[in-house]
Amino acid sequence: MARINLARADAGRAHRAVPGDVVVVRLDETPTSGHRWQIEEYDPAVLRPSGEEALAPASRTGGQGLRELRFDVIGAGSSRLALALRRAWEGAASAVDRFEADIAADPGFAGG
């Protein structure tokens, strides 16, 4: 099992994995303003959300924080992983930022 770490610089790229790997996405957010990273799209046959947490909570109102979202790779195939930075109560159209990456999971890929 490998840990595949993704950050802002990895957006728009394709990433290889094997079932059993964990995809970890770390992105900046401003939680005190209500903006949090929300999951918009993934293939549930390939990825399963397995948790999220605030790693560096903002120390003051409006301060920057860091959100970590984890996904278990549970099956072979391809999945677009799409996240949106938005206020949950305002809906998908209110996103102020987006993160997308493609995950290709293949049991024959050595190196995770």
Query: What is the percent of the chain with per-residue pLDDT over 90, rounded to a whole number?
Result: 67
Q: Which fold has domain 3-88+96-105?
A: Immunoglobulin-like (2.60.40)
Q: How confident is the model at residue 17 (pLDDT cuts 50, 70, 90)?
A: very high
Domain boundaries, the chain: 3-88+96-105
Environment class of residue 3 by beta-carbon count within 10 Å: exposed (0-12), middle (13-18) or buried (19+)? exposed
Cα-Cα-Cα-Cα torsion 6, 10, 14, 19, nearest 10 degrees, comes to 0
Query: What is the percent of the chain with per-residue pLDDT over 70, rounded to a whole number?
Result: 90
Specify the amino acid at residue 102: D
Most confident of 16-20, 32-36, 94-98: 16-20
Residues ≥6 apart with Cβ < 8 Å to 104: 14, 15, 16, 17, 77, 78
* Confidence at residue 44, expressed as pLDDT on a 0 to 100 scale: 98
Quick: pLDDT tens for 60-97: 555 678 999 999 999 999 999 999 999 888 877 889 99
* Confidence at residue 112, expressed as pLDDT on a 0 to 100 scale: 46
